Amino acid sequence: MCTALPSRWRRAATSIAVLCTAATVAAVAPSPADAQTRPSNALFVENRPDPTNGQRLDITVSSAEGYDKDASPHGGELGGVGLLGPAGQSILVTTAASYAWIGHQLQFRASGGSTERYYQSLNDVLHSSTNDASDAAAAGLLFHTPETTFVANQTANYASSLLYNFLPGTATITPGTGPAATADYGLSNSQIYAYSSATEYTRRVSTRNSVSAAAEWEHSDIVGGRADSQQLNVYKARAGFAHHVGHNFTALAGYVYRFGDVAAGRLVPYGQVLKENELELGVDYHRPLSATRSFNVQIRLGGSTIKLPPVTGIDLVPTGDRRYEQFSGQLATAYDFGRSWQASGSFRRGLEYVTGLGEPVLADAFTARVDGLLTRRVDLLASAAYSSGESALTRAASLFNTYTGTVRLRFGLTRTWATYAEYLYYFYDSRGTAPLVPGLPPSLERNGVRVGLMLRVPAAGK
């Protein structure tokens, strides 16, 4: 049984830091074809590697009880049942499954999960389970030959909380993975349906050179509840070139075109279309340290031109299209050390589209994470994140800073059972400007403690 965090608001405000952490993991992860498993002597926390040929199915059921306290430096205690979920005690139940079928040239992967939270302060299981829930599914395939690689992935999510994810991830397409069905942070009483499709084709044109083409689509609907009904559609196309300088070093260049329908169905004075053209340069460095450990670095630097829709002033005279240039970049690194430890971190700057917002944001974000085994039965995970940004349309009208940190200690009882304790801290500050989400207080602070039990069943696999 897994993690429990009462209060739905946190997902909303924490959007930034949460997804940023996901972006870090995705950015430094090896490709599915070369995925490795770090060694481990642990019981429950032992990772099973993919079969060379065959299939694997893992099922996890988890439950936890937690206590969360919300406060505002400007307004004291927070709580209630509105856009902000109630604080206090809650019980969280999570189920998840992952499946992998590995062939000689073809891989298929799928995953799914569901999370429901019961707030004891509401004394209403039915209300809590239908108004604070999250469901997620993803499926994808990878086909590779010595000359070509084709990868495709599809995700689908339902959430009752706004901003269940903040940063939409990186350019890495990993089959069978997507946003998790978590309820750690959020603004409640909404119905959000989100989908994404991504595909990429890569072909080696010479011993050292390869070209690639990718296409992505993201869509979300927000209906009912206290939040404004709205849609978000983002289309992205990318063409890239890679030159393998050495055995561990690759230089890359690419062109990205992104078209964002940022506020379909909403009456906003900024229009609905945002177009972005970007040129990107980067390097990848991958150094194997042993059969199962490695050191990875990714660097991406780019410049983009963004076309903003016209704004109608007080005199009702349109200003015409607006354009501005911005720098974008990303640094991500992961290092395996010891027998089971890994440290990773990232810095990311750029334009982001967020489910739950009617406009994109320009964000700078930093994340760091370390995890590994303290003993054969005990593992430790610690992470921290910081982000700062502004609305891409209203610019100085909506600014934000956010900080978050988590520490988790887990004890493996057997090969299938584990118990754990976790502490989470989160702080959000709109810096005296209008909040990105109407109804969100200008400043929020959260402290949460959770204790849970987890069961993992290796249902099938060689």
* Overall number of domains in the chain: 1
Q: Which of 188, 140, 141, 180 is nearest to 161 (CA)?
A: 188
| pLDDT tier at 279, thresholds 50, 70, 90 | very high
- Residue whose tokens read 């099922």: 59
pTM: 0.76
Position 3 in a domain: no
Position 286 in a domain: yes
- Which residues have a Cβ under 8 Å from the Cβ of 113 and sit 6 or more positions away? 94, 95, 96, 97, 135, 136, 137, 180, 181
Return mean pLDDT, the chain: 75
Position 393 in a domain: yes
Cα(445)–Cα(427) distance, integer angstroms:
4
DSSP SS3 for 27 = helix
Position 4 in a domain: no
Structural domain containing residue 67: 9-461
Cα(58)–Cα(61) distance, integer angstroms:
10
Considering only residues 92 and 160, tell me which one the structure prediction assigns the higher pLDDT: 92
CA 50 → CA 36, 287, 411, distances in Å?
A: 8, 21, 24
Entry field: residues in the chain: 462
The tens digit of pLDDT for each residue in 215-272 reads 999 888 877 655 566 777 889 999 999 999 988 999 999 999 988 876 544 434 444 6
Position 2 in a domain: no
- For the segment 423-449, the average pLDDT, to the nearest whole number, is 75
Amino acid found at 29:
A
- For the segment 328-336, the average pLDDT, to the nearest whole number, is 90
**Number of helices (H), then strands (E), in the chain:** 2, 19
101 token code pair? 């079928």
Q: Residue 289's pLDDT is what?
A: 85
The tens digit of pLDDT for each residue in 8-46 reads 333 333 333 333 333 333 333 344 334 444 444 555 555
Highest mean pLDDT among 169-178, 199-208, 310-319: 199-208
Q: Which of 229, 94, 212, 64 is nearest to 148 (CA)?
A: 212
Considering only residues 309 and 177, tell me which one the structure prediction assigns the higher pLDDT: 177
Position 1 in a domain: no
Position 92 in a domain: yes
435 has pLDDT over 80: no
Position 272 in a domain: yes
Q: Residue 369's pLDDT is what?
A: 93
DSSP 34: G
The tens digit of pLDDT for each residue in 316-326 reads 444 555 676 77
Q: Residue 155's pLDDT is what?
A: 92
Instruction: Please spell the DSSP secondary structure of 356-377, one letter per residue.
Output: T-SS-EEEEEEEEEEEEESSSS
CATH assignment at residue 444: 2.40.160
